[in-house]
Structure 1
Amino acid sequence: MKTELRANATTPIPLQNSRLFNNPESSLSGALKGCLGSLDGACIEKLLLHCASALENNDGTLAQQVMWVLNNVASLAGDPNQRLTSWFLRALISRASKVCPTATNFDGSSTIQRRQMSVTELAGYVDLIPWHRFGFCASNGAIFKAIEGYQKVHILDFSITHCMQWPTLIDALAKRPEGPPSLRITVPSCRPPVPPLLNVSTEEVGLRLGNFAKFRDVPFEFKVIDDRCSSSTSTEIMCKESSGFHFESLLNHLTPLLDLRDDEALVINCQNWLRYLSDEQKGRVQDSSLRDDFLRTIKGLNPCLIVVVDEDSDLSALSLTSRITSCFNYLWIPFDALETFLPKDSCQRIEYESDIGHKIENIISYDGFQRIERLESGIKLSQRMKNAGCLSVQFCEETVREVKSLLDEHASGWGMKREEDMLVLTWKGHNSVFATAWVPGGLED
């Protein structure tokens, strides 16, 4: 029964009952109707782009016709293309409700039901494919190398995965030949309102980490920092549902809140985080964005290492058609990877794909400050880091071996390559996640 409820919670909107799909067949050519159910990825992408173009041109009639075709292809229980199409179709309907409100009975609000996971469920979620573990492994290897010889370490952690990275590092530090350093981890209380969601507080996560560190004889402190003294522009940083995200206020008061200590090695860890900081310059200092301000601020803290990990795709274009092209040709990767080892009706698979659907909905359905997914490629991020005055650090061979060993635990389609300043996780040769390491350098360009 629980599985059935979860599957129903992620079923697409019943399009056949929507006014958006009233009698579109009469407007479709017989040739187009004849290919229903047999469209490959390239054809689906073309249909998505036709629909996007129609919406950008306020052509509700054409948008309805294309959506009808997509609705006959989409299936959450189908092959990866059909499952991916389901989530793109949902996002397009959401957008259509804003562009052509009289053409649809969909109210435009997110209908993707996201539940909070237990810590055990989150661990299984992270282990499903190496999407997150790749970044954890590469980052921990770089951090372990950077803090050699230090007896006190302070990690400022910006991440969406609720500190799931740190048990592995704690375990490695416990085995350090010269003995473990004392470890202090500081996390912000503000977090983007995106999956995965956890059913315990950040403070509870810190207690669990502390218990594990005690078990491994690693001296440990955990602190959650918060600053809600400013009502500033939090609604401009995240989407409308994220009024609790006070990151700009926090950034303005970060240094005194951190309790920096001269005898500690400071590490800044950014895992799938920068994409949620606005890169728009409206209303800010010329040629500056919150993302740039953040990088300059953390560089000014003079850390011994800055690690940045994120998904390797550019989804920040203003054009809807450009975003659809990039998004469709990138997010097929997790759908295809999950197909290799999970059955079509797997509750775990449906839940993971639902979280990707949440991302697709934000990328496609929203514009302006309501669109919080502003991912940039690893190459663009590297240039941004250099512009902020940082120098890249190469990953050592031991870290590379550890990452390769991790990938051996997963399907054979996963691989890794070096690309300029980055280590890159690949699926069937396609870039999926990048990892980079940096140190403060000279003056900005």
Structure 2
Amino acid sequence: MAFEELDPISYDDMFCMDSYSSYLPLTYDVNYGVDGEINSEPWWLSTPNLCEDLISPDLPSFNSYSTTTTPTSTISNDLTSYDYHSPTSNVSKKRKESPESPQRTSHIPRKVQTRGVNKECDDGDVIVEKRAPAKKAGNRKTPGKSASTTTNNGNSKEGRWAEQLLNPCASAINAGNLNRVQHFLCVLHELASPTGDANRRLADHGLQALKYHLSSANSAPVSPSGSNFASTNPRFFKNSLLNFNDINPWFRIPNSIANSSILQILSEEHSQVSLHILDIGVSHGVQWPTLIEELSSRPGGPPPLVRLTVVNPVSDNNQSGGTPFESSPGGYSFSSQLLAFAKTKNINLQINILNNCPLQSLSPEIIKSSKGEALIVCAQFRLHNLKHSVQDDRTEFLKIIRSMEPEGVILSENNLDCSCISCVDFATGFSRRLDYLWRFLDSTSVAYKGRDSDERKMIEGEAAKALTNIGEMNERKENWCERMRRTGFIGAVLGEDAIDGARALLRKYDSNWEMKVDEKDVCAGLSWKGQPVSFCSLWRTDFRTNTP
């Protein structure tokens, strides 16, 4: 199917209305012929000594967390807020790689590779010897030893020295071997850093997570930067999120496929049907300006009414807990700007926000679903936080969605093995979470071109919540697809527009990113250096089955 290139949009009028123009990306998902680099400008202008008094003789439970929900409220006019409480580069040329700065390589220092260098004293303290680097013989390069090689080595764990320290430490915690735990913590403390290459940053986040488990189940592990989504200010959060989507496709590709799938479903409906989107995602509004732009230029005109129901995550006072990327800072709101932008595009938009409403409590009455509208559920990177073992909240929630008889369900999730305590022990789960975070940190090293910044620290600090969140109950896409089929959905083929558009968009990013379509499960999978990251899929209600 051929693509029509949109006419260039005049930004003069848009930027004079600063309140909403910043949500519309400067690089459109649908304008693939634009030449030049992705615009990265924002669109809206001391660790304690771990070797002393760190470990209690009685290792705490790793499973007890306390959460507190706090109500939120807003808004007026077409925007309604409910506080619900449950009764119980260059695109056309080449794709560039941006290796880490040569001053910071991802080599594991020799003192960690060789036994006997980290010496343990009679009193149990650990002395970490620092040796001068060996002199190189001439200018010869040893294959496989360059900084860029180890930094970009995502297919194997060679060169990923942080995990070679963090994983044995987690195993020692599992076994209750306090001396060995203390040894690894001291070495990690010597090597970890919130700046530098991906290994050093992974060691830093991993060290904070291990301290979390060792100290107290109720004490939040705070990185040296103390930064994540909930801890920053709204303006900086918005600027950073928009820029991150411009330089890293981690969420941009799933958002693009989701928007194209919504248009695909809508094209099969009557031209005058209203559109109702149930947003259970992590886009924080960034996803929707592009869809509004596409609806405004849709053949036959836009729907008479577009309703957006946003299900905010249940509040959690523990900023290091919760699903990564779902939270936002206090005071952040995209609604008024999005409504203003929709008005300029002649889109009749209504936004409803559900606060403190658990996903299991959703119902047609809560979301105010009505007959004659096309209901589309957009669930992105939130459902893996639902329990799936003895208490199968995940399946029960999908049954609730099935009972609403939506025209389509867009499911985007991490394509990873589960790391919850019901499936694996602490050490195994921690190792899987480290593997996830490595891919993220490695990709951000390239996206930010090795430069340290407060923005990168905040984005990575949010991703690092995966190391401490007991709700990281991921599943592989095959398991998700089977679960969807069991609950009354049929996999739908992603449209040509969705696939071709996502591939064209992906070409604007680093060449280590790949997207493949699984014909069996009709999913589009995103991977970094050959390793799976996420998948996006489209599902239709199977009316041949009875409502669960």
State the TM bucket, normalised to the shorter chain.
Answer: 0.7 to 0.9
- Cα distance in 1 between the residues matched to 2:294 and 2:51: 56
| 2:450 is aligned with 1:343 | yes
Q: Tell me how far 1:248 sits from its aligned partner.
A: 5.4
Contact kept? 1:316, 1:373, Cα under 8 Å: yes
Partner in structure 2 of residue 236 of structure 1: none
Conserved 8 A contact 1:90-1:361: no
AA aligned to 1:356 is A
Does the 8 A contact of 1:392 with 1:439 survive in 2?
yes
- What is the aligned counterpart of 1:310 among 397, 406, 413? 413
Q: How far apart are residue 134 of structure 1 and its match?
A: 0.9
Deviations for 1:116-170, whole angstroms, at most 9, x for unmatched residues? Answer: 4323443223333111111100111111101114321111111122222111111
Aligned residue in 2 for 1:238: none
Report whether the alignment pairs 1:328 with 2:422: no
The verdict on how the C-alpha distance between 1:187 and 1:24 changes in structure 2, with shifts beyond 3 A counting, is farther
Among residues 503, 506, 526, which one is paired with 1:407 in the alignment? 506
Indicate yes or no: 2:315 matched with 1:216: no
Match among 231, 243, 262 for residue 143 of structure 1: 262
Contact kept in structure 1, 2:193 and 2:201, CA below 8 Å: yes
TM-score, with length taken from structure 1? 0.79
Equivalence for 2:220 = 109
The one-letter amino acid of 1:140's match is N
Q: Which residue of 1 aligns with 2:280?
A: 158
Cα distance in 1 for partners of 2:514, 2:373 equals 35
Q: Secondary structure at the match of 2:406?
A: coil
The aligned residue for residue 545 of structure 2 is 443
Matched, 1:79 2:197: yes
Select between 204-213 and 86-95 the one with higher mean Cα deviation: 204-213
Structure 1 residues 432 and 36: alpha-carbon distance in aligned structure 2, compared to 1, 3 A threshold? farther
Identity %: 26
Aligned to 1:180: 302
Larger radius of gyration: 2
Q: Which residue pairs with 1:433 in the alignment?
A: 534
Q: CA deviation at 1:58?
A: 1.8
Deviates more, 1:81-90 or 1:272-281: 272-281
Q: Corresponding residue for 2:253?
A: 134
Name which structure has the greater RCO, CA cutoff 8 Å, separation 6+: 2
2:168 pairs with one of 37, 50, 58:
50
Q: For residues 233-264 of structure 1, what are the alpha-carbon distances to aligned partners after superposition, in whole Å with 9 as ceiling and x for unaligned?
A: xxxxxxxxxxxx4405633xx22122222211
- 1:390-401 to 2 correspondences below 5 Å: 390-401=489-500
Q: Residue 119 of structure 2 contacts residue 128 of structure 2 at CA under 8 Å; is this kept in 1?
A: no
For the Cα contact (< 8 Å) 2:276–2:375, is it kept in 1? yes
Q: Using the TM superposition, name which of 55-64 and 345-354 deviates more.
A: 345-354
Write out per-residue CA displacement over residues 312-337 of structure 1, whole angstroms, 9 at most, x where no aligned residue: 21233421122122222222112112
1:293 alignment partner in structure 2: 396
Who is 2:388 aligned against?
Answer: 279
Query: Does the CA-based 8 Å contact 2:383-2:394 persist in structure 1?
Result: yes
- Which amino acid is the alignment partner of residue 261 of structure 1? S
Q: Deviations over 1:24-53 (max 9, x none)?
A: 832799999689999964554343222112
Give structure 1 stretches of 5+ with no counterpart: 1-10, 100-106, 227-244, 283-288, 363-370
Q: Which consecutive residues of structure 2, in runs of 5 or more, have no partner in the other structure? A: 1-45, 56-117, 134-144, 151-157, 317-323
Equivalent of residue 374 in structure 2, options 262, 265, 268: 265
Question: What value does the CA root-mean-square deviation take over the aligned residues?
Answer: 3.1
Q: Secondary structure at the match of 2:351?
A: strand
Aligned amino acid, residue 210 of structure 1: L
How many residues in Structure 1 have an aligned counterpart in Structure 2? 392
Q: CA deviation at 1:64?
A: 0.7
Q: Which residues in structure 2 correspond to 1:196-207 (within 5 Å)? A: 197-199=327-329, 204-207=333-336
TM-superposed deviation, 1:344: 3.7
- 8 A Cα contact 2:257 2:536, kept in partner: yes
Q: Kindly state the Cα deviation for residue 200 of structure 1 after the two structures are TM-superposed.
A: 6.3
